[in-house]
Amino acid sequence: MDFAVDGRKAFAYTAAHAIDAAKPTIAFVHGAGLDHSWFGLQSRYFGYHGFNVLAVDLPGHGRSEGPPLESVEAMAEWVVRLLDAAKIDRAALVGHSMGALTVLECAARHPGRVTRIALLGMAYPMKVSEAFLEAARRNEQAAYDMDTIWGHAPQVPLGANPNPGMWMYGDNLARLARLAPNVLYTGLKACNDYAGGEASAAKLDCPVLFLVGSRDLMTPPRVAAAFVKAFKSAQTVLLPPSGHSLMAEAPDATLDALIDFLSTGTTP
C-alpha cells in the first residue's frame, strides 16, 4: 500500500488487507539496505491472524522514494509520520538491526504511540568497521559481500536454508544490488553514529523483547546481553544457531517468539 509521507511515496506491505481501526497494528522496520520483504513470513502471518500490519520500506529502500534518512532519530520520526498517514494511533513495533535502533528511539520519543517493541539482531552501540563503511561509501561490491557473509551464521553456505531451494546469500545480494548509490552507506553510518541508546532504553515502560541469534557476528549476543541491562524490564529469546539474519535463518522460531510476545495484551 502506498502512502504519502513528507510529500514522497512511502510503501508498506499490509498483507493485502485494508487497514481496520478495530484491529491492533504491528509495524515492521527493516535494517540497513533491506526492505519490507525481509519480514515476509512474519508480517504475512500477523496480517492473516487479526492484526493490521505495516511492513515498511524506509525512504530510499524498496518501493519508497528517497533520499535515505541520515540518522536513527530521523527514521524514528518518519515511522510516526507513516503511522499518521495510515491513520494509526498506536502500534507495536518490530525492528531488525538498524530498524531495531529505530523502533527503540521511536518508542522513547513517542510512548503514547507505541504499545510494545521487539528488537531483532540488536546491540548497542552498533558500531560498523571502518573497512565496511568505506567500501559502502565507495559503493563497492566488497561492501555487499561483507554485509552478506557477516550477516549470516557460518553454516549458511552449506545449504542451511530451512526453505528448500532457497539461497540466503543470493537473496541478500539481490536486495543489495537493487539499492541506489550510498543507501547502504547512509544506513550503516546512521547505526555507527547513533548515541542515544542507553538514554532511550531507560525511558521505556512498554514491554520489550530481544530476539538474539546465538551466532550473530554483527550484533553479538554478549553485546546484546550487556545492553538489556539498560532497560527497566526486557525479555530475551536466544535463537540457536541463527546469525544476524534471524527472519531468514530461523523463520519459524522467530515467528513463534513474536506470536508469543505480540499476541499478549494487544489492543487497537
Quick check: helix, strand or coil at residue 41?
helix
> Is residue 67 reached through a cis peptide bond, with omega within 30 degrees of 0 on the bond before it?
yes
- The grid cell for 171 is 537473496
* Residue 235: Cβ within 10 Å count: 15
pTM: 0.95
List the one residue out of 105, 113, 110, 106 whose CA is nearest residue 197: 105
List domains and CATH numbers for the chain: 2-262 (3.40.50.1820)
- Please list the residues that pair with 52 across neighbouring strands: 25
Interatomic CA distance for residues 177 and 96, integer angstroms = 20
Instruction: Burial-class residue 136 by CB neighbours within 10 Å (0-12, 13-18, 19+).
Output: buried
List the one residue out of 78, 105, 79 whose CA is nearest residue 91: 79
Q: How many helices (H) and strands (E) does the chain have?
A: 11, 8
Interatomic CA distance for residues 191 and 207, integer angstroms = 23
The count of residues in the chain is 268
Residues near 111 by Cβ (< 8 Å), separated by ≥ 6?
203, 204, 205, 206
Q: Report pLDDT for 265.
A: 60
DSSP 37: G
b/e per residue, 47-72, with b = 16+ CB within 10 A? beeebbbbbbbbbbbbebbeebbebb
Distances (CA, A) of 118 to 72, 153, 258: 16, 21, 8
Q: Tell me the pLDDT of the chain (268 aa) as tens digits.
A: 999 999 999 999 999 999 999 999 999 999 999 999 999 999 999 999 999 999 999 999 999 999 999 999 999 999 999 999 999 999 999 999 999 999 999 999 999 999 999 999 999 999 999 999 999 999 999 999 999 999 999 877 666 666 666 788 888 999 899 999 999 999 999 999 999 999 999 999 999 999 999 999 999 999 999 999 999 999 999 998 899 999 989 999 999 999 999 987 665 6
Q: At what angle do helices 183-193 and 72-85 cross, to 10 degrees?
A: 110
